[in-house]
Amino acid sequence: MSEVAFEEVSVLSSIYCREGEFQLLRQSDQDGLVIQINCHGLGDGGPDVSLLFHLHPSYPSCPPDISVSSTGLSRSHCHGIRKKLLDLAAAMPPEPMVHRLVELVQQQCLQVTEDCSGGEEEVKETETEQQWTTVLMIDHMRSRNRYIGLVERWTHQLQLTGMLLLGQSVLVILQGARAHIKEFCRRLKTVKVDVDSSGKKCKEKMMKVVSETPVPTSCRHSLQGFIVKDYKSSSELNEALQELSMAELYREIMTSVS
């Protein structure tokens, strides 16, 4: 197996980190890797879908084999999604592609949900409700200006709001569509955002997801734009979160860093 494949699997396990989302089923030099990703549509009530990817030893030079199953979709619909994924994978350049394929499945599931909803107004309401708050912990930040510039640009491109908290621990708080937050995490893991101790550009491989929760309606607009804030103590961190009506995140963060 190529180092690229192992690195992609590591990134996927960080992106799909909720219980039951990701599983490495098999690994061998002869057969490659088999992973399972369980996802649901982008919206409340979206169908659950299980995706099986067989990454051959020559992957990504050759596309993966893919299986699609779901308790909420018909067999013919699963077959149609699988065919579309295989065609897309075959047309992609030889580089990591699983995350993009999973995102396509989520979009297909959203389309199914919309088709069944019967009205544009109801769809818009569902999309509006699908907002999440995610807290990421960054391992280190040596090239501060470059790092902040990339993070701020990504939040804008992905239509996210966020806050970067710089102190004893480097924390990123993001709010927005869950799929967009996962794309942010993918970029953080695959783009050279910082430099190591020798000054060489490096990727954020040690990023940790501290918390991932739906945004309550009362806190939907608690974050505006992108904010960079320094803090010197845990009490200052607590105050910053209280100002955003996110006091409950403080306990989760402190549990994670202790």
21 CB-side CA count, 13 A: 14
Look at residue 123 in the predicted model and tell me its pLDDT.
37
63 or 41, higher pLDDT: 63
Q: For 143-178, write each residue's pLDDT tens digit.
A: 788 888 888 888 888 889 989 999 888 899 999 988
Predicted confidence band at 35 (pLDDT cuts at 50, 70, 90)? very high
Number of H helices, E strands in the chain: 8, 11
Mean pLDDT, the chain, integer: 80
45-73 average pLDDT score: 86
Residue with tokens 């192992």: 6
Query: In a 3-state reduction of DSSP, which class is residue 72?
Result: coil
Look at residue 128 in the predicted model and tell me its pLDDT.
45
Asked whether residue 113 carries a pLDDT value surpassing 60, the answer given is no
14 or 218, higher pLDDT: 14
pTM score = 0.55
Q: For 233-247, write each residue's pLDDT tens digit.
A: 989 988 888 887 787
61-85 average pLDDT score: 86
Look at residue 33 in the predicted model and tell me its pLDDT.
94
Asked whether residue 103 carries a pLDDT value surpassing 80, the answer given is yes
CA distance readout (Å), 79 to 14, 52, 101, 158, 238? 28, 13, 15, 30, 50
Between strands 161-166 and 226-230, the pairing is: parallel
Express as a percent the part of the chain with pLDDT over 90.
14
DSSP states along 124-165: HHHHHH--EEEEEEES--SSHHHHHHHHHHHHHHTT-EEEEE
